[in-house]
Structure 1
């Protein structure tokens, strides 16, 4: 449960959609990337029946400073403090659970948890056992009625039989942006390494016997159920950021709440406060059986409700919807014939929501992308691969070649041996002109790499070359590196490309710009040639910054900001 809570607190989009009072989204700091519930505030209201609070609202949640043992006893309460007992840390056997996520009546995702005790083959002492915990989450996050992206989180951790964290690894993908965090506990504390793109940060935390891992809330309740009036406080690990938080739980009363089938059920109600530090606190409510089995959880700030259920119900239709969204996408109001053959496409964009960035328009003139403003909220965008000049009030974007477009970087590591070998082999005798060389490199990147949309990481070019597989971003990065290895300036373009099925939509895509013969040529290594005109460029980047946030921010900002209509297209000229 803490994983959702922490992600919600870190979210840039929760509660107020894509604009909050947290750090500016454009900075793309670590707090944003941990936002597991991006965009929950954009959903419609929840249909959970209202009920009278069981205690006065002012006293509903625990205070920042938990009451002392003496104060609690004088109030007639039973207090269960983590630092006073080890009972709720004892392993109670293997465990597996599925949760279905709902916002209102919308089924928006699921979670799968498994907890298994194991030991090395040469260890017969039960005390030498360790516990493997695995979590997988999938959420479909919508912005408005037409735009959506997929978010996945996976977490694996190892603990001792009495709940001491040993090692963990978390992976969070938010649309096309992927962040991983890996940590190990030793005598000196917890060392956590976070990676996004080629950016790596390392943090060290004090870590003692009182600290817990990611599933601490669920495991504490399951191993030692709280009774009415009991309180429990402990420190635990948050994923991805990384962050050590303080959790305070209070079993307040019995309550009758509706379950996933709509039937009411009497359960024990636990209020949970999570203190993230720096005056940031979040709250959620857990309903449990007397034996500690969690049945329902509610996050009031986001209207998110989770129900404990089985795999079939938890995953029903989610995987098929995820495939339809294709990482990140937005629907169009019209269809495009033979998109891969198009050389000239017109799009009409009507703004439906203000972007997060200070600029009112996300779509701007780019090489091969002409823009004409119709009024304060609408644009005409013409994408052309015909080398034509702007006219009729359209503006074409251009930018000069810089040193960063030519030099190796942490992500476009064009000086790496494998990359140079591929570029040399593809370039042949060197008699090709710049344009022909660039196209031949696009073909080589296509032939040597297998498309794997679920590759799961923002890879360096050298990693793509060695693994010979990746998603569209991996293809684009590899081609950019091959071009630079042959002395051709390059950038990576990020945006959206037309997809016909299961319904007409623009889906996240990445491709490459090569500066040849004095101009920028769009190349798509996933197709192995010149990029078709079936796309909208949202941003281009030389990826000289190892943190890929600057490049990705406009992509997520675009979602839900426009209605898109295809107004004209051509396949031959």
Structure 2
């Protein structure tokens, strides 16, 4: 099956459902506190069995483990799940402890309930995830939920996602299947989300674990199925292959059992491919017991291992530090890099099939000396600190770079007030570049730096908190520029970060670009230097127009998965 966690950088989505007015509305809520009121004649409110603990609730104590175990080094050490204790209407309920190379990061709850509405049999499935990681030593909670409402035969009626993205803010998308289309709606600022094609036979989270039993295979045989990935609001093809039958012990001090080992692969989305996932299922019950996949974004092999609810929801005592996993080491320091003219980097990307397209070419960076066979190339990156004289004019940007959208939402009092404050005092003849540079200075001086608890908040939310990390700086800066009429977009890439041991990092980063004097020009409010130097390596840019998912982050995940090695070739003063 597809990995329970889609990607570390956007904390994985998942969701909440609501139906169209033509049929009774079905609303899935994991908690009672603070929820809206529903007319029971029109709404069916369903809560999954064994609701997950509140995100603000005290964490649970770590369960005691055997003093000595036979588990291999790096294995998750949790007790086996034991006999399930299910309510009469519960179809299944699985709890998985999640870890990276044996180090716990959180849990996933996956379950389904049977219900009736207006004489109609329904199954409601919910997959809830909670991870705790560390960013620069600060504990960060990441949560997400996906759900679907299905017929007993597996036909999906409703699907959606709910994902925490900022302080008291969640991204919520609801979908209703109408023929060959998933009609997608969003709550609040996410209204107007794009519909997406819905082919026949899409598998929801209720039916998905049953596919192993439904489609018996011999070693080497495969089957395909379409799956909805809410975080990118797309249906993709999954291919599942039975690799082998084997006997193994999954838990310490537990006898070996017969298992079936499957490998799942997702079709590429553009140039991005999710790493293959290996799933072990019980050879007799066909229930999933363990899933494993390599994900560089978490720094190693991610494992989900079935266990008890108590063990799965135990507190994460030693969170994984994401910075170490989501950075690329350089071979030497470049003193004063942000004031340098240019740098040439030698890049090796052995895990990517088309290494030369990992980094785009634009006015300030270019790919040279590509060796497609060795998967190496040189990346030349130059500084930019404002409009370049004599530079050829670039095509004028479309309205998607000036309009207010879900993430870069400037049409509100908070963003407009900050934009007015930033540009106050500029002369009447101020250029678009003057305005953008003033925005960069204002955000740099007024935001609270190095607060890492948000996934990626929208600009209006950042305008209220004036806190966050590089993603919040970039979103607010782009929104403020648009509020004063300057076309803007965000940029994803790498930025030079010094280290104590003399070998610096290239850390994943977000900044913004504006269109001024016929050129796209970069700015970075986290540094506030009136531009960027050759320590900013661009991976992708995006307007976020009509985007209610984290699909624009996929190019970064591609670079993460490529496991690039980078060395400094030349440095121009």
Q: TM-score, normalised by structure 1?
A: 0.54
Task: Give 3-state SS (helix, strand or coil) of 2:331's partner.
Answer: coil
Give the corresponding residue for 1:200.
Answer: 193
Give the corresponding residue for 2:436.
Answer: 438
Given candidates 490, 493, 504, the residue that maps to 1:492 is 490
Query: What root-mean-square deviation, in Å, do the aligned CA atoms of Structure 1 and Structure 2 show?
Result: 6.4
Task: Give 3-state SS (helix, strand or coil) of 1:530's partner.
Answer: coil
What is the distance in 2 between the residues matched to 1:190 and 1:419? 35
What is the distance in 2 between the residues matched to 1:415 and 1:505? 37
Task: Give 3-state SS (helix, strand or coil) of 2:417's partner.
Answer: helix
Given candidates 396, 421, 424, the residue that maps to 1:402 is 396
Task: Give 3-state SS (helix, strand or coil) of 1:498's partner.
Answer: strand
The CA deviation at 1:569 is 6.9
Given candidates 557, 564, 567, the residue that maps to 1:565 is 567
What is the distance in 2 between the residues matched to 1:567 and 1:95? 54
Unmatched 5+ stretches in structure 2: 8-71, 73-85, 116-120, 134-139, 217-222, 268-275, 295-300
Q: Deviations over 1:262-282 (max 9, x none)?
A: 975124659899999xxxxx9
Give the corresponding residue for 1:124.
Answer: none
Task: Give 3-state SS (helix, strand or coil) of 1:533's partner.
Answer: coil
What is the distance in 2 between the residues matched to 1:430 and 1:358? 45
Deviates more, 1:378-387 or 1:487-496: 378-387
Please tell me whether the aligned partners of residues 405 and 491 of structure 1 are also in contact (alpha carbons under 8 angstroms). Answer: no
The CA deviation at 1:308 is 2.6
Task: Give 3-state SS (helix, strand or coil) of 2:3's partner.
Answer: helix
Given candidates 340, 346, 359, the residue that maps to 1:344 is 340
Give the corresponding residue for 1:425.
Answer: 421
What is the distance in 2 between the residues matched to 1:168 and 1:212? 11
How many residues align structurally?
440
Residue 250 of structure 2 is aligned to residue 259 of structure 1: yes
Please tell me whether the aligned partners of residues 229 and 236 of structure 2 are also in contact (alpha carbons under 8 angstroms). Answer: no
The CA deviation at 1:496 is 0.8
The CA deviation at 1:497 is 0.8
In structure 2, relative to structure 1, the CA distance for the partners of 1:520 and 1:466 (3 Å cut) is same
Task: Summarize the alignment of residues 353-502 of structure 1 with structure 2, pairs less than 5 Å apart.
Answer: 353=349, 362=359, 364-367=361-364, 373=368, 377-379=376-378, 381-385=380-384, 400=394, 402-404=396-398, 408-411=402-405, 412=408, 414=410, 418-431=414-427, 433-434=430-431, 436-446=434-444, 449-450=447-448, 453-457=452-456, 459=458, 461-462=459-460, 464-465=462-463, 468-469=466-467, 471-500=469-498
What is the distance in 2 between the residues matched to 1:454 and 1:331? 25
In structure 2, relative to structure 1, the CA distance for the partners of 1:7 and 1:545 (3 Å cut) is same
Task: Summarize the alignment of residues 31-180 of structure 1 with structure 2, pairs less than 5 Å apart.
Answer: 90-91=88-89, 97-100=95-98, 111-113=107-109, 133-136=126-129, 154-157=144-147, 169-170=160-161
Task: Give 3-state SS (helix, strand or coil) of 2:398's partner.
Answer: helix
In structure 2, relative to structure 1, the CA distance for the partners of 1:409 and 1:115 (3 Å cut) is same
In structure 2, relative to structure 1, the CA distance for the partners of 1:182 and 1:318 (3 Å cut) is farther
Please tell me whether the aligned partners of residues 446 and 466 of structure 2 are also in contact (alpha carbons under 8 angstroms). Answer: yes
Q: Deviations over 1:291-338 (max 9, x none)?
A: 8875445799xx98753347589998984243433xx43222223456
In structure 2, relative to structure 1, the CA distance for the partners of 1:189 and 1:522 (3 Å cut) is closer
Deviates more, 1:105-114 or 1:188-197: 188-197
Q: Point out the structure with max Rg over C-alpha.
A: 1
What is the distance in 2 between the residues matched to 1:221 and 1:384? 54
In structure 2, relative to structure 1, the CA distance for the partners of 1:139 and 1:216 (3 Å cut) is farther
Unmatched 5+ stretches in structure 1: 9-46, 48-87, 120-127, 141-149, 227-232, 277-281, 391-395
What is the distance in 1 between the residues matched to 2:178 and 2:387? 66
Task: Summarize the alignment of residues 200-349 of structure 1 with structure 2, pairs less than 5 Å apart.
Answer: 200-202=193-195, 214-216=205-207, 238-240=228-230, 256-261=247-252, 265-267=256-258, 286-288=280-282, 295-296=289-290, 306-309=304-307, 311=311, 319-325=319-325, 328-337=326-335, 342-344=338-340, 346-349=342-345
What is the distance in 2 between the residues matched to 1:517 and 1:245? 44
